């Protein structure tokens, strides 16, 4: 009877297992609001009853803990060393958002033996079926870590602002991901814009450049966020804007973004969370 009950429980768990969308949020330039987007989108998704995991992929300047005003006691490095389990490393943030905090350097994973890698995979595989969304907050720029995390995601959101350097660096990021890693699809999120016309201008400049110089690139203008001076106040108080000013235009914009994110097809050639784990964390 115990064996039969266990089998039924396993079958039931598989039926209920969630199909996970893995989304990287990235940028060519720092300071464009990438971490703010991740932090607020996660809370907005939780408000819709979704299970959300934030993977803090900025190994040098992790900021999720600052935005959320939290202090996780453990991070990915403890999992790598085998001193903590995945359940001990995961940290619950605001509104039940789960966070896998950044390690001091993901490069140390490359020095692990096959047995150690397999042990990590088995730990991280426990996350399979637990989350509707995994949001990866990458570092800015075109480092190897940024590239690997982006190529492991099902969807790549590139955040860009009206600053000329932000636009040129976003193009450079997509150029590297396309030419060296074969990535051909990008969702553009324009941030801190004064109007939809400005957002359209930014997107069109990227579209024109990619059409002219990059082969087979597909860009979508996923969403635009209006400029809001209260963002700086929210950052100072270490409170996501969606909670700092719940009924502002910017907070409402996150609700609109959730609808677009939910509409993205859940099936992807890259697979779900297991593909992300094996490609980004242990190198396949």
Measuring CA to CA, how many Å separate 44 from each of 112, 150, 253, 257?
A: 37, 22, 10, 9
Q: What is the pLDDT of residue 11?
A: 43
Residue 47 within a domain: yes
Closest-CA residue to 238 (of 24, 72, 49, 94): 94
The pLDDT profile of the chain, 284 residues, written as one tens digit per residue, is 454 554 445 445 544 567 889 999 999 999 999 999 999 999 999 999 999 999 888 766 668 988 999 999 998 778 777 888 889 999 999 999 999 987 655 555 545 566 656 666 677 777 878 999 999 999 899 888 788 888 888 999 999 999 999 999 999 999 999 999 999 999 999 999 999 999 999 999 999 999 999 988 999 999 999 999 998 999 899 999 999 988 899 999 999 999 999 999 876 666 666 666 666 555 55
Instruction: Give a yes or no: residue 192 inside a domain.
Output: yes
Strand partners, 55: 100, 136
Please report the pLDDT score of residue 220 as a whole number: 97
pLDDT of residue 161: 98
pLDDT given for residue 144 in this prediction: 80
Q: Could you tell me if residue 8 is inside a domain?
A: no
Residue 10, in any domain of the structure: no
Total tally of structural domains belonging to the chain: 1
How far out from the chain centre does Cα 89 lie? 18
Is 30 within the bounds of a domain?
yes
Would you say residue 46 lies in a domain? yes
pLDDT at 47: 96
Give every CB contact of residue 74 below 8 A, 6+ residues apart in sequence: 84, 88, 89, 91, 101
- 48: containing domain: 18-281
Q: For residue range 58-113, what is the model confidence (pLDDT) as tens digits?
A: 766 668 988 999 999 998 778 777 888 889 999 999 999 999 987 655 555 545 56
Does some domain include residue 5?
Answer: no
Give the list of residues 6+ apart from residue 232 with CB closer than 8 angstroms, or none: none
The CATH code of the domain that includes 193 is 3.40.50.300
Could you tell me if residue 9 is inside a domain?
no
3, 79, 18: which is closest to 50 by C-alpha? 18
pTM greater than 0.95: no
């Amino acid at each position: 009877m115990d064996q039969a009950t266990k089998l039924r429980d396993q079958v039931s768990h598989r039926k209920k297992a969630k199909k996970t969308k893995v989304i990287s949020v990235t940028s060519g330039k720092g300071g464009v609001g990438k971490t703010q987007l991740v932090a607020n989108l996660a809370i907005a998704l939780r408000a819709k009853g979704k299970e959300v995991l934030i993977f803090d992929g900025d190994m040098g300047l992790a900021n999720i803990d600052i935005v959320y005003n939290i202090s996780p006691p453990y991070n990915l490095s403890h999992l790598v060393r085998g001193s903590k389990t995945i359940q001990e490393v995961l940290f619950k943030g605001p509104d039940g958002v789960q966070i896998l905090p950044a390690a001091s350097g993901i490069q140390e994973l490359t020095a692990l033996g096959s047995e150690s890698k397999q042990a990590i995979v088995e730990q991280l595989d426990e996350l399979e079926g637990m989350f509707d969304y995994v949001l990866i907050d990458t570092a800015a720029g075109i480092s190897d870590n940024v590239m690997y995390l982006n190529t492991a995601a099902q969807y790549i959101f590139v955040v860009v602002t009206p600053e000329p350097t932000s636009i040129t660096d976003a193009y450079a990021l997509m150029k590297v991901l396309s030419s060296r890693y074969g990535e051909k699809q990008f969702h553009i999120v324009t941030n801190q814009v004064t109007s939809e016309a400005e957002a359209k201008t930014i997107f069109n400049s990227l579209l024109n450049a990619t059409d002219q110089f990059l082969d087979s690139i597909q860009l979508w203008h996923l969403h635009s966020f209006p400029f809001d001076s209260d963002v700086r106040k929210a950052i100072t108080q270490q409170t996501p804007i969606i909670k700092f000013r719940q009924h502002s235009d910017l907070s409402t914009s996150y609700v609109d973004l959730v609808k677009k994110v939910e509409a993205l097809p859940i099936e992807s050639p890259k697979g779900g969370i297991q593909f992300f784990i094996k490609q980004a964390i242990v190198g396949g």
